[in-house]
Amino acid sequence: MPREKTGHYIPCPICGENFYKKPSDYKFRKRATCGKPACTSEYFKGERNPFWGKNHSEDSKAKMSDSLIKLGGDRLKGIKKKPMSTEARLSRSVAMKLQWKNNREARMAALPRGEDHHWQKPAQERRHRHHFSPWQRKEWKGDKCIWCDSTDDLVLDHILPIAAGGQTIRENSQTLCQPCNLWKMWFVDRPLSIVVKATSGGQSLSG
């Protein structure tokens, strides 16, 4: 059976160390060295490099130059820009703050937002995720667990879980300790969410 099918050990042409050349090395990677960066770099120097002696055409060079200019790629072309001084950075920062202050209303009005945008909601409702916000945890969380009256490791919990259609509102929140919350998650919330998904064709109501 040929070596291309079984693989074999061969010496590295650079360092002389034996390495195993797998069958896939013949078909895909065409591995020629032991794989060390120094050996690979040395092996592909000169004529062994697949790009040796090849040059881009004048048309391709012009297209690449135009693309770099469009992308603002002066630094990619080797042009080093002079670093901005501390005074210049401070001056630009002051100018940007003044520009924002003078044009704030116009810029805010130009933003694409509807009547239900989170900027127009009260602070306690400004959430796009299902978790309680730091403001909600601070304002809504009580001083003891409503199940066991513990005062340690208190968390804010959804009475009706999100997976079962619950919402992140104050009426659907309660204060539990961490052990009670964990028990509720496994033996109340999880079975309830499974039932809801089963009765709704496998679709969660949390979305």
- Structure confidence at residue 203 (pLDDT): 52
Report how far apart, in Å, the C-alpha atoms of 28 and of each of 4, 23, 32, 140, 182 are.
12, 9, 12, 60, 51
The domain spans of the chain are 3-48, 131-199
Q: How far apart are CA 127 and CA 46, in angstroms?
A: 60
pLDDT of residue 111: 63
Predicted pLDDT at 131: 80
Structure tokens of 1? Answer: 């059976």
pLDDT at 104: 79
Alpha helices in the chain (DSSP H): 3-6, 23-24, 37-43, 58-70, 86-110, 134-140, 178-184, 190-199
Q: Which residues of the chain have pLDDT under 70?
A: 1-6, 25-30, 68-82, 110-130, 200-207
Give the span between the Cα atoms of 91 and 129, in whole angstroms: 38
pLDDT given for residue 154 in this prediction? 93
Identify the pLDDT of residue 206.
Answer: 46
- pLDDT for 207: 43
Type of residue found at 190? R
User: For tokens 């920062």, what's the residue?
Assistant: 93
